[in-house]
Amino acid sequence: KDNDGGSRGAFIVLEGLDRSGKTSQSSKLLSFLEGLGHPTELWRFPDRTTSIGQMISAYLSNQSQLDDHTIHLLYSANRWEKSSLMETQLKSGTTLVVDRYSYSGVAFSSAKGLDFEWCKAPEIGLLAPDLVLYLDIPPEKAAERGGYGGERYEKLEFQRKVAECYQALRDPSWKIIDGCQPMEEIQKQLQEIVLDHVSACKKGRPLSHLW
Ligand code: NYM
């Protein structure tokens, strides 16, 4: 349902390398916004609950092999299959805090050597976030953190390439947060930025599309 006053939720994306702290910070943001009475949901991509998501999950845990282009398109399809629900939620006034989005899609696939523009193409027309929060951490620091799991991509050499690809995607509207600071400090900074955007969206800032 649309809100009469055009008061919509904000679409907030957290991005960063593996082990940059996105997931912990996303759930803290959720409690923070809920605590202030803003209807909020925490989403993440890949969304492993759908059948496409299960194919992605099997690939990530090395239970299946897929051509690089194929998995790229599955990640994108996984966003497309959630896009109308996403729009409904935002328009009904729910703020979405989303752990990874199209930027992960392009950064990880172009880090494998796929063409940058080719990687961006299937994302054209998806809803654009109101805010991208990039948790900036050197790949070496991320690697020191509790060790990577056994999933694909979780290797220092590869994460260095991903960091470069994120760099190429960055635009001036991104908020870059130093991910090496104490968790509480990062959370404080995120809260401040996010509140600004939540109010702007409530005042009716229109939704836009990628890119
Ligand atoms: N990933 C995630 C991609 O390669 N492309 C995408 O479009 C998305 C959303 O999936 N290492 C990669 C980045 C991660 C991996 O994500 C699993 P997570 O946040 O660890 O569940």
Q: Which amino acid is at 165?
A: C
**Residue 6: pLDDT above 80?**
no
CA distance readout (Å), 136 to 17, 35, 79, 84: 8, 27, 24, 30
Tell me, using a 6 A CB cutoff, whether residue 60 lines ligand 1: yes
Whole-model pTM?
A: 0.96
What burial class does residue 2 get, using C-beta atoms within 10 Å of its C-beta: 0-12 exposed, 13-18 middle, 19+ buried?
exposed
Measured in Å, residue 45 CA sits from the centre of ligand 1 at 7
Mean pLDDT over 114-126 rounds to 98
Q: How confident is the model at residue 146 (pLDDT cuts 50, 70, 90)?
A: confident
Average pLDDT of the chain to the nearest whole number: 95
The least confident of 2-11, 113-122, 137-146, 180-189 is: 2-11
35-45 pLDDT, tens digit each: 999 999 999 99
pLDDT (0 to 100) of residue 142: 94
| 104 Cβ closer than 6 Å to some ligand 1 atom | yes
Complex-level ipTM:
0.99
- Residues 125-139 have pLDDT tens digits of 999 999 999 999 999
Tokens 């947060």, located at residue: 177
